[in-house]
Amino acid sequence: MNLVLVPVTRALTKLPFDCGEPELNQYLRRYAFKNDALSIGKTFLAVNQAQEVVGYLTVSTAQIAADALTDAVRARLPRYPVPAFRIGKLAVDRRFQGSGAGRWILTQALQKAVEISKSVGLFAVLVDALDEKAQGFYLKYGFIPFEAHPLTLFLPLATIKSAMI
């Protein structure tokens, strides 16, 4: 699948898109462009050669409270919140689910995090899984759920960087 990741535009949000989750469909149609303009969350769309919206990704910054991490992870860190890169939304149109598009979009997000970490401190990438099915997707790629909030998961940047070598 030959995809390109492009910044959200009003025109792109009007193209057909249905990932099967009304909340994610509505976000793309009603909020992605506005939130991008306000710098609340930056949205990028995966578009194929036919100019179809295959999926999308919304990212922002975040922080992780030290006490939310496991003892083993926390032992190496300061006792104050650490910076993170948040994947707030990631969705793939039903027509392309199972094609590897979700993995491709996730890889693009992780590459963005690594690139940003060259200029801004980042400890991990956070994701907010919509449900257990989405959680399972992230678990396949090594994300670690928070004990108190298992649908929020993280992957240390060091792990991402070592996987990219």
- Per residue in 50-96, pLDDT (tens digit) is 999 999 999 999 999 888 887 777 778 778 799 999 999 999 999 99
What is the average per-residue pLDDT within 118-145?
A: 95
Confidence (pTM): 0.93
φ/ψ of 40, rounded to 5, equals -80, -40
CATH 1.10.10.10 fits 3-164, yes or no: no
Q: What is the pLDDT of residue 165?
A: 64
Distance CA 115, CA 133 (A): 29
Residues in the chain: 165
List of residues 6+ apart from 161 with CB closer than 8 A: 114
Judge whether 47 and 6 are in contact, CB under 8 Å: yes
Report the Cα 132 to chain-centroid distance in Å.
Answer: 16
- Per residue in 38-54, pLDDT (tens digit) is 999 999 999 999 999 99
